[in-house]
A and B are shown apart, each in its own frame.
Chain A
């Protein structure tokens, strides 16, 4: 099966940088995704890593180390609107398969 571990809560100051970690245990590895969810909203796709290294998309970057079964989401120049829950997720199989989500990290951005 699959299991993912994330910190439950992180607090950071507006304008700062924050890193949200995710460690996973999977029977096979087919990539690591990150989703953002505001309170009462839908999960929104942020990024996907299949290979080791850093993927950058604007203020958000995602990193993967397959040898360490570890990834992180890096948010730069934090804004108040970044306050949300962030979930890492893995597909248990290749192709268009359902996702297994972590329990999520609640990010609070403070002034």
Chain B
């Protein structure tokens, strides 16, 4: 069964540094999402992406965040200047076209800011 893949599985970064989290969505999916989950808390939406542009973003997705689809397969989340509170699990998800399509999640990247 096709799956969403994310790299790296764990990223440790100094506060203030830039990080790029990478995702390869399921190949025939057109809708892409980033979510984050702080340890022990619920999954929170960050941003959605369709047709090479952001379709929705949450309050969390401020100017420090950006997303990009640099080629036909990758979907990246960049955090420009990381803060301690950015430490979380970041999940990429994708879904196909059509009504009520479920979102398929990757295994996540655990981001630890020191």
Contact = CB atoms under 8 A, between A and B. Distances in A.
Interface of A: 31, 33, 35, 37, 41-45, 48, 50, 87, 89, 94-104
Interface in B80-114: 91, 95, 97, 99-108
18 contacts: A31-B100, A35-B105, A41-B108, A42-B105, A42-B106, A42-B107, A43-B43, A43-B91, A45-B102, A48-B102, A50-B100, A87-B42, A96-B30, A96-B31, A97-B56, A98-B56, A101-B43, A102-B42
B48 A98 contact: yes
Interface residue SS majority, chain A:
loop
Nearest to A30: B100
B100 to A, nearest CB: 6
A97 B48 contact: yes
B103 A103 contact: no
A5 to B, nearest CB: 12
A46 to B, nearest CB: 9
A98 B100 contact: no
A87 B102 contact: no
Contacts of A41: 107-108
Contacts of A104: 42
